[in-house]
Structure 1
């Protein structure tokens, strides 16, 4: 085999490796991006869960506040009634 043929063969083998590695790199980068998006999605779900919990806590506290207000009004009315007697 002449030097030229050998060099062409080596270059073709190198080109094959280059194309393979380039294809694998692109595939890995796509997977990396998908994982990044999934991680963001997971974080978003976590934040959404936290928001829902805060909303529920807020509703619970609002109900407690309403009950306390009703008790306060009732207590005031009872005190006023007792003073008028």
Structure 2
């Protein structure tokens, strides 16, 4: 799998293992980014279940969901100073 990612996709795949010396609930920094991305996708009702028949329509729904997220962020009022 690691060789496939490197040769075909050009990605470097790094598998992060669990740190046994830490106790409690610890979220690894890179994993937090992935979990936040999945949470944003699950806010879109159509992406909660796998209703799409083709991967192109599923990809289009992901783009639509991320477009809605970015337009909300861009349209947000900036904080007032003073």
Whether TM-score is above 0.5 comes out as: no
> What range is the shorter-chain TM-score in?
0.3 to 0.5
**TM-score, length-scaled by structure 2:** 0.33
Structure whose CA Rg is larger: 1
Larger helix percent: 1
Question: Which structure has more RCO (C-alpha within 8 Å, separation ≥ 6)?
Answer: 2
**TM-score, length-scaled by structure 1:** 0.32
